[in-house]
Protein backbone atom coordinates (compact mmCIF):
# COMPACT_ATOMS: atom_id res chain seq x y z
CA UNK A 1 0.00 0.00 0.00
CA UNK A 2 1.38 3.38 -0.98
CA UNK A 3 1.54 5.97 1.77
CA UNK A 4 -0.32 9.22 1.25
CA UNK A 5 1.65 12.41 0.92
CA UNK A 6 1.70 15.13 3.54
CA UNK A 7 -0.23 17.35 1.14
CA UNK A 8 -2.95 14.75 0.55
CA UNK A 9 -3.40 14.18 4.28
CA UNK A 10 -3.44 17.93 4.92
CA UNK A 11 -6.06 18.55 2.23
CA UNK A 12 -8.28 15.87 3.76
CA UNK A 13 -7.97 17.53 7.18
CA UNK A 14 -8.68 20.97 5.72
CA UNK A 15 -11.88 19.74 4.07
CA UNK A 16 -13.02 18.21 7.36
CA UNK A 17 -12.29 21.37 9.36
CA UNK A 18 -13.39 23.99 6.83
CA UNK A 19 -16.43 22.06 5.60
CA UNK A 20 -15.79 22.78 1.94
CA UNK A 21 -13.51 21.53 -0.82
CA UNK A 22 -10.06 23.09 -0.82
CA UNK A 23 -7.20 23.01 -3.28
CA UNK A 24 -3.47 23.07 -2.63
CA UNK A 25 -3.65 26.81 -3.37
CA UNK A 26 -6.17 27.49 -0.58
CA UNK A 27 -5.30 30.14 1.98
CA UNK A 28 -7.00 32.27 4.59
CA UNK A 29 -7.04 35.05 2.03
CA UNK A 30 -8.91 33.16 -0.70
CA UNK A 31 -11.07 30.69 1.28
CA UNK A 32 -14.16 32.23 2.84
CA UNK A 33 -14.67 29.46 5.42
CA UNK A 34 -11.07 29.82 6.67
CA UNK A 35 -11.68 32.40 9.39
CA UNK A 36 -9.67 32.90 12.59
CA UNK A 37 -11.53 30.19 14.53
CA UNK A 38 -11.20 27.67 11.71
CA UNK A 39 -7.50 28.55 11.43
CA UNK A 40 -6.91 27.50 15.04
CA UNK A 41 -9.08 24.40 14.61
CA UNK A 42 -7.11 23.44 11.50
CA UNK A 43 -3.76 23.85 13.22
CA UNK A 44 -4.95 21.78 16.21
CA UNK A 45 -6.17 19.08 13.80
CA UNK A 46 -2.80 19.14 12.04
CA UNK A 47 -0.98 18.75 15.35
CA UNK A 48 -3.15 15.79 16.31
CA UNK A 49 -3.06 14.06 12.93
CA UNK A 50 0.66 14.45 12.36
CA UNK A 51 1.77 14.19 16.00
CA UNK A 52 3.81 17.34 15.63
CA UNK A 53 3.23 20.37 17.89
CA UNK A 54 3.21 23.69 16.06
CA UNK A 55 4.78 26.55 18.02
CA UNK A 56 2.11 29.27 18.50
CA UNK A 57 4.49 31.93 17.23
CA UNK A 58 4.31 30.24 13.80
CA UNK A 59 0.51 30.18 13.59
CA UNK A 60 0.18 33.53 11.78
CA UNK A 61 2.69 32.43 9.13
CA UNK A 62 0.94 29.12 8.47
CA UNK A 63 -1.94 30.75 6.62
CA UNK A 64 -2.13 28.56 3.53
CA UNK A 65 -2.18 24.89 2.64
CA UNK A 66 1.21 25.25 0.99
CA UNK A 67 2.74 26.99 4.03
CA UNK A 68 1.46 24.30 6.40
CA UNK A 69 2.58 21.48 4.09
CA UNK A 70 6.04 23.03 3.72
CA UNK A 71 6.37 23.39 7.48
CA UNK A 72 5.28 19.78 8.03
CA UNK A 73 7.72 18.50 5.43
CA UNK A 74 10.50 20.58 7.05
CA UNK A 75 9.60 19.07 10.41
CA UNK A 76 10.19 15.63 8.83
CA UNK A 77 6.68 14.41 9.51
CA UNK A 78 6.16 10.88 8.16
3-17 tens-digit pLDDT: 689 999 999 999 999
Output the pTM of the full model: 0.90
Does some domain include residue 52?
A: yes
Q: Is residue 45 part of a domain?
A: yes
Note whether residue 11 is domain-resident. yes
Domain that holds residue 56: 6-74
Span 29-41, mean pLDDT? 97
Q: How far apart are the C-alpha atoms of 73 and 65, rounded to whole Å?
A: 12
CATH number at residue 22: 1.10.1200.10
Residue 56 falls within a domain, yes or no? yes
- Flag whether 1 is in a domain: no
**Domain count across the chain:** 1
Give residues with Cβ within 8 angstroms of 35, minimum separation 6.
28
Amino acid sequence: MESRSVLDRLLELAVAVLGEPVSPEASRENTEAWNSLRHIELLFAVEEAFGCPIPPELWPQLDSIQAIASWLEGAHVP
